[in-house]
Amino acid sequence: MSESGETPGIAPEVLESPAYPRFVRILAVVLVADLLAFGLWSVPALRGADWSAPSLLLFGAAAISIVWIGFWIVYSRTRLEGDVLTQTWIWTRRAHAAEVTKLKLVHWRALDRIIAPRLLVRQGPAVTWFHSADPRLLTGFAQRVAERIGQRRGRSS
């Protein structure tokens, strides 16, 4: 075993899943499509309005934000490779098991289809939430963190 806890020459197990459950991703597509359709339907009424440059800018920024976040809800992925948990999002989130100081798993099995299991990860002063449609991925990372904490305690005694 190496210091990272992995056997040399053997590739670490890789777990990957969508960050959000299927229902949430479908709902995001439906809501974005509905908002865009409503916007197109509203064009005749909006043309008659008196628009200032800041209001047009705000309206455009809101539309872009809705589409951008909807895109990331659909395409965001969470991956556990060795001791590293990664989630693609508007920016990529990454956590290394050896650097984690605190974890909190939020998971209600009965609501898995509508609320993604999530893991709060504290690395020093930074706090990050990781979502995964597959709770095994998050619990796998939590187990790796527990192993690293056990190794640190074993070395200090």
- Taking the chain, what is the end-to-end CA distance rounded to the nearest angstrom? 20
Whether the pTM exceeds 0.85: the reply is no
Dihedral angle at the C-alpha atoms of 21, 27, 29, 34, nearest 10 degrees?
A: -170
Residue 13 pLDDT grade (very low, low, confident, very high; cuts 50, 70, 90): confident
Collect all residues with Cβ–Cβ distance below 8 Å to 12 and sequence separation of at least 6.
6, 81, 82, 83
For all residues of the chain together, what is the average pLDDT?
88
Q: What is the pLDDT of residue 69?
A: 95
C-beta of residue 22 within 8 angstroms of C-beta of residue 144: no
Query: What is the domain partition of the chain in residue ranges?
Result: 14-156
Q: Is 89 left (phi over 0), alpha (psi -120 to 50) or beta?
A: beta
Q: What is the mean pLDDT of residues 29-48?
A: 92
Residue 157 pLDDT grade (very low, low, confident, very high; cuts 50, 70, 90): low
Q: What is the mean pLDDT of residues 13-25?
A: 93
85 exposure class (CB count in 10 Å sphere: 0-12, 13-18, 19+):
buried
Helix (H) or strand (E) run with residue 23 in it: helix 22-41
Q: What is the mean pLDDT of residues 61-65?
A: 94
**Tokens read off for 145:** 């963190």
